[in-house]
């Protein structure tokens, strides 16, 4: 039995496909959107479209940006010889928020997960190796402390070790399975300062 109009059902379905949105939240959001003034809905839809069309990968670190290079890579005072490897752009943002890290980043856009069929070629790993041909002194692996994050860290360290570049791993003061973006700045800094050689 159709409880709502077909249009509302479609909207609920689309919203429920978003990560972290269950069916109940999707219903609440759908009714909220439908009751908004038409101009606000138009503005919302336009914002989503424009973001989708204009956001791209930074040519150097692969974070999401509006320009060819992201603000970190464009900033000449950052230490380009230290690269912190993170799983996603949100993790990068979490470290940037501390304001204490002076190196640059590399965003993998995922982690290796044999269980989910995500292999080394499905993340931006080749791109990282290409960057290492430049003047790089240290690679700090800051993937999550989940099984996937640890697998990825071990894999990367094995790849980099033979090049002679220093490879470190952030300290595991970070709760297991914890997403970096939810961890407070003090904990992040402690994890960075307590990093160990791999
Ligand atoms: Zn960048």
C-alpha span between 167 and 189 (Å, rounded) = 18
Per the structure, the count of domains in the chain is: 2
Distance 64 CA to ligand 1 centre (A): 8
What's the 19 CA to ligand 1 centre distance in angstroms? Answer: 26
Q: How far is the CA of 96 from the centre of ligand 1 (A)?
A: 12
Q: For residue 123, how far is its CA from the centre of ligand 1 (angstroms)?
A: 16
Distance 46 CA to ligand 1 centre (A): 26
d(CA 23, ligand 1 centre) in Å: 36
Of 157, 163, 151, nearest to 195 (Cα)?
Answer: 157
Ligand 1 centre distance from Cα of residue 20 (Å): 28
Read off the CATH number of the domain in which 155 is found. 3.40.1360.10
The verdict on 145 and 85 lying in the same domain is: yes
Supply the range of the domain harboring residue 13: 1-38
Over its C-alpha atoms, the chain yields an Rg (Å, rounded) of 20
Q: Are residues 1 and 91 in the same domain?
A: no
Do 177 and 196 contact (CB within 8 A), yes or no? no
CA of 59 to the centre of ligand 1 (A): 7
Which residues, in sequence order, are CB contacts of 52 under 8 Å at separation 6+? none
Contact 78, 102 (CB under 8 A): yes
67 Cα–ligand 1 center, Å = 9
Say how many Å lie between the CA of residue 50 and the centre of ligand 1. Answer: 20
Q: d(Cα 11, Cα 149) in Å, to the nearest integer?
A: 34
Same domain, 84 and 158: yes
Cα 160 to Cα 167: distance, rounded to the nearest angstrom: 7
pTM equals 0.80
163 lies in some domain: yes
DSSP-assigned beta bridge partners for residue 85: 106, 141
CA of 115 to the centre of ligand 1 (A): 30
Dist. CA 84–CA 101, nearest whole Å = 9
Same domain assignment for residues 105 and 155: yes
19 and 73 belong to one structural domain: no
Q: Give me the tens of pLDDT residue by residue for the chain, a chain 198 residues long.
A: 567 789 999 999 999 999 899 999 999 999 999 999 999 999 999 999 999 999 999 999 999 999 999 999 999 999 999 999 999 999 999 899 889 899 999 999 999 999 989 999 999 999 999 999 989 999 999 998 889 999 999 999 999 999 999 999 998 755 545 566 667 787 888 888 889 888
């Amino acid at each position: 039995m159709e409880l709502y109009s077909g249009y509302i059902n479609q909207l609920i379905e689309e919203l429920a496909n978003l990560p972290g949105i269950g069916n109940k939240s999707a219903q609440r959001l759908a009714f909220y959107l439908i009751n908004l003034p038409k101009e606000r809905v138009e503005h919302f839809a336009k914002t989503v479209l424009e973001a989708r069309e204009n956001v791209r990968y930074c040519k150097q670190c692969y974070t999401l940006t509006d320009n060819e290079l992201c603000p970190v890579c464009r900033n000449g005072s950052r230490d380009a010889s230290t690269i912190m490897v993170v799983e996603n752009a949100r993790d990068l943002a979490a470290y940037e928020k501390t304001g204490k890290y002076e190196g640059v980043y590399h965003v993998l856009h995922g982690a290796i997960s044999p269980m989910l069929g995500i292999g080394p070629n499905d993340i931006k790993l080749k791109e990282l190796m290409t960057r290492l041909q430049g003047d790089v002194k240290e690679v700090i692996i800051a993937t999550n402390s989940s099984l996937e994050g640890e697998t990825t860290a071990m894999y990367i360290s094995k790849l980099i070790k033979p090049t002679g570049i220093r490879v470190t791993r952030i300290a595991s003061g970070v709760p297991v399975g914890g997403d970096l973006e939810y961890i407070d700045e003090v904990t992040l800094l402690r994890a960075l300062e307590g990093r160990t050689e791999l």
